[in-house]
Amino acid sequence: MPDPLGRITVPRDLAAVTSVGAEAPAEAAGLTEAQVKRIWAAGRNLYRTGMHPALALCVRRNGEVVLDRAIGHARGNGPRDRAGTPKVLATPETPFCVFSTSKGITALVIHMLAERGFFDIHDRVVDYLPEYGANGKQDTTIAHILAHRAGIPWLPRELANLDSLTDMDAALEVICASRPFARPGTRLAYHAISGGIVLGEIVRRVTGRSIREVLAAEILDPLGFRWGNYGVAPEDVEQVALSYATGPRLLPPVSQLVGHALSAPIETVVEFSNDPRFLTSIIPSATIVSTANELSRFFEIFRCGGTLDGHRVMAPETLRYALTEQSRLELDLTLVIPVRFSYGLMLGAKVVSLYGLDTDLAFGHLGLINIVGWADPERGISAALLTSGKAILYPELRRFYAVMATIAAQTPKLAPAERPF
């Protein structure tokens, strides 16, 4: 019988389902082996909850990969999989869909293009998409969208199906015709999907290329990334770890809040996310596919101030502006919690922080709902935690946050002179 809490079967021998990538000695990065072991113990403890069929964790410190490991199964050990379902081990080379962590990557692409003169983020959206001005949205700026203040956080019902959602022209038409729930620029409400679609279209119109092509040409290809773009090629779909609906069944009012934020029940979202149409599509807010190592390396670019291995993506001044705080201790009307946002990224804080205590200079983005990629310049960290279970609430939820908290606690801060920016 399926577990009533939606758990997977956790193997007794965790070593048998653990894979380790190329790791530098802890001392090469200014850490101790004991510190790295404590970090991985936090990852193992999260896997032991039974909420995640697969988990991958990669941590860089001062550019050195001190931890690059995966545990569990990319396919075949979901809570509702039959006993005879073939199991495929997850490895550090296994790509995952990172869902809303895509927003952080999209935001950095936007800031890169702004630096290069394609637009200013305080330009109005209608300067590039005239049709967007319908129904009171004419004063919306690109910055409003990045900061989740554009007033269009919830997808119209016409887009609550996979065919419409993955047809960017059709989706854009519906979003442009929509009416904001509040005057643009005034209210904080997380834009789960809609904002990314608008940003992607602005990129296409000003560059003549899709945002997928821009990301590949300007960042991924010059730096030799294998993954990390919006969607994958059709022949790569089978390599992507499946997402699974895990955890207890949600009840009102939580189920209503989650369904409102995602524009569909979590089970439907998971079903969509495993469909080849979704995994090959360009949805700038949701369809980046990456390994933990490559997502960590992506954030390493910006931990270093915008340049990595001799390839300059943006100037430190542009990055600092991108990280300008836009909300703090303000209730988000979609997430129903206070979130510290910049222009497109989730920022850390002294106390209430996704990235652990005393991480107010950290930045990155959460992805549905136990995925995160981030950089912490104070500690010399760039890291990624990928999971395949989509449990919203479960008894050991604190173990997810404990992974980031442990990384912060076990990694000493650098002297200001040692920080790249």
Answer whether 131's CB lies under 8 Å from 368's CB.
no
216: left (phi over 0), alpha (psi -120 to 50) or beta: alpha
Instruction: Give the pLDDT score at 1.
Output: 60
pLDDT tens, 299-346?
999 999 999 999 999 999 999 999 999 998 899 999 988 889 999 999
CA 396 to chain centre: 21
If you compute the radius of gyration of the chain from its CA atoms, what whole number of angstroms results? 20
Instruction: Give the pLDDT score at 2.
Output: 63
Instruction: Give the pLDDT score at 59.
Output: 98
Instruction: Give the pLDDT score at 159.
Output: 86
Distance (Å, whole) CA 69 – CA 6: 24
pTM for the structure as a whole: 0.97
pLDDT along the chain (421 residues), means of 10: 84 97 98 98 98 98 98 96 93 98 98 98 98 97 98 88 91 95 96 96 98 98 98 98 94 86 88 97 98 98 98 98 94 91 97 95 96 98 98 93 98 95 89
Please give the structure tokens belonging to residue 88.
Answer: 């495929």
Answer whether 168's CB lies under 8 Å from 143's CB.
no
CA 71 to chain centre: 20
DSSP for 90-112, written as a single string: --TT--EE-TTHHHHHHHHHHHH
CA distances from 98 to 245, 305, 365, 387, 392 (A): 15, 23, 10, 9, 15
Please give the structure tokens belonging to residue 308.
Answer: 């990595």
117, with CB counted inside 10 A (0-12, 13-18, 19+), is: exposed
